[in-house]
């Protein structure tokens, strides 16, 4: 296997075989419920209906499995965010749709969102480098969308662009997860509008 093929295998686990997909789904559910530290390889294997040896054969260790699970989820989220790129002549409308895609992702994968929120800021973390890389990829896409808004509208340049990216990024996870966990009656549109209020405050009237 070439280095490129190995990289593709690591970054796009959705393309792997059915056994690996079952492992991802089982891991996402168990880790989302109890946190990474509270789940064993035996439990993951049992939930996926495979042997413990299969987990080690495919991923090497629980730590590697979780790292690849994080990459898998972020790949799905990024694909959805980028699917609305250039879909609207109005960059604010495009960002509204992008945030809507993030809300849909949180609704479909709440266990992944729980994993991200619970483990991302844990220190020390054995996945710190993985989180930093994946966070950077997500912030780059959000930053490009903000840049599009700034290129079309008069914006408040006193607001730190980096802080604005982080505010949108964090709000997508927290608002989306809060809706799934505590406020299921809250609509997708209400959640998107709350996050978009951050962006609309950045645009001068």
pLDDT in tens, 67-88: 988 888 898 899 999 998 665 6
CA distance 86 to 94: 7
Contacts of 33 by beta carbon, 8 Å cutoff, 6+ apart? 111, 114
By percentage, how much of the chain surpasses pLDDT 70? 90
Where residue 126 falls among pLDDT bands split at 50, 70, 90? confident
Where residue 149 falls among pLDDT bands split at 50, 70, 90? very high
The pLDDT, as a whole number, for residue 160 is: 96
The pLDDT, as a whole number, for residue 122 is: 79
Total-model pTM: 0.84
Above 80 in pLDDT, residue 4? no
Above 90 in pLDDT, residue 56? no
């Amino acid at each position: 296997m070439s280095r490129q093929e190995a990289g593709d295998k690591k970054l796009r686990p959705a393309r792997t075989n059915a056994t690996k997909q079952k492992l991802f789904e089982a891991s996402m559910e168990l880790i989302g419920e109890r946190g990474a530290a509270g789940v064993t390889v035996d439990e993951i294997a049992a939930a996926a209906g495979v042997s413990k040896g299969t987990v080690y054969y495919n991923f090497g260790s629980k730590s590697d499995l979780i790292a690849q699970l994080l990459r898998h989820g972020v790949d799905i989220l990024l694909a959805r965010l980028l699917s609305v790129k250039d879909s609207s002549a109005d960059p604010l409308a495009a960002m509204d749709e992008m945030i809507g895609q993030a809300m849909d992702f949180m609704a479909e994968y709440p266990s992944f969102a729980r994993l991200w929120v619970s483990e991302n800021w844990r220190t020390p973390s054995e996945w710190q480098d993985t989180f930093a890389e994946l966070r950077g990829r997500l912030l780059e896409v959000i930053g490009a969308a903000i840049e599009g808004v700034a290129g079309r509208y008069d914006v408040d340049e006193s607001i730190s662009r980096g802080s604005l990216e982080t505010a949108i990024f964090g709000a997508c996870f927290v608002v989306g997860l809060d809706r799934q966990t505590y406020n299921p009656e809250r609509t997708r549109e209400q959640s998107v509008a709350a996050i978009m209020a951050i962006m609309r405050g950045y645009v001068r009237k």
